Structure 1
């Protein structure tokens, strides 16, 4: 980590803060760590940690953002990409564009993630409908949809965990 106010701690995976930091700096540091944990080539084997990283990355958005984690067949991350940006309560998602991006990255699987600026992570009917359309479209080109995660300030929801996939 190249942050001036952090220094590696004596115990692996710990850090010492060397100067006072603001709340905004703490959020920035947390987001930098989350981005690093979602770096290309990382195998995503711990859903709880992936959820935590995504919640950190998506907090603070005042509009909906729909993203995808494109994975290889071994569930290693190929690319994490924001695909669509929306308004305070919706984002238009186009299956054709999602399929194009997945094929461009040669993905074998995908995890979708979007935020609810309202804070409530409960998936809406529209969320469930678009996820089903995406699953069908990607299934035609043999790309698996592993999960769709909705994050909000009040928590997160997993379509796989809820039995929607």
Structure 2
């Protein structure tokens, strides 16, 4: 039986409109995006199959184009659409962050940094550039490394911060392993960057390491 024959209160789209997106399961949300199923499977059946195949929505969203398009019911058009949705979400979080004080919204800062960095396949180092009222100017990606290391040069960090007229920065990088615990090298790098930026009167407010969760140097008392 197709979804159109289901009771109205059980159809994902109608359920979303009536109750809100937060009342839908992962598979139901994905079914709304898919719109249609395939032969012998409704959109919800297909969505459940995909959630299982990719071990959750995160795996589906992070899949490369070839892996994504090889799955039943998907293809290049769906890949492009879903990547557009992911990027819209990131930009929405960035706009929210830019409206306020990054220091007064640590949860929003973490949400943005996780959305930006968590699923990067290699280590990426960047920083949030802040004005003198701690409003976000921009996020700049400064170095991409191997799977477990990134080469970060203090002079490039200083040049970037000065070029955007930043008064303060929040450093950030990801651990592709998912383990956010900072390494000794992370702490050493942070100290070197603090010293370099101090010479031009730019403060380092935090260094956030992103994995499956986030670790804040400021909260650890390391700054």
Q: How would you bin the TM-score normalised by the shorter chain?
A: 0.7 to 0.9
Q: Distance in 2 between matches of 1:163 and 1:64?
A: 24
Q: How many residues align?
A: 156
What TM-score, normalized by structure 1, do the two folds share?
A: 0.82
Pick 1 or 2: higher relative contact order, CA cutoff 8 A, min separation 6. Answer: 1
Q: Distance in 2 between matches of 1:26 and 1:162?
A: 37
Partner of 1:35: 91
Q: In 2, are the aligned partners of 1:31 and 1:56 still within 8 Å (CA)? A: no
Q: 1:1-165, aligned counterparts within 5 Å?
A: 19-21=32-34, 23=57, 24=61, 29-39=85-95, 40=98, 42-44=100-102, 45-153=104-212, 155-165=213-223
Q: Which runs of 5+ in 1 are unaligned?
A: none
Higher strand share: 1
Higher helix share: 2
SS in structure 2 of the partner of residue 164 of structure 1: coil
Q: Distance in 1 between matches of 2:105 and 2:84?
A: 23
Q: Which runs of 5+ in 2 are unaligned?
A: 1-12, 23-28, 35-46, 48-56, 62-80
Q: Distance in 2 between matches of 1:10 and 1:129?
A: 52
Larger Rg: 2
What TM-score, normalized by structure 2, do the two folds share?
A: 0.62
Q: Distance in 1 between matches of 2:181 and 2:83?
A: 24
SS in structure 2 of the partner of residue 20 of structure 1: helix
Q: CA deviation at 1:35?
A: 2.5
In the superposition, relative to structure 1, how do residues 124 and 78 fare at CA in structure 2: closer, same or farther (>3 Å)? Answer: same
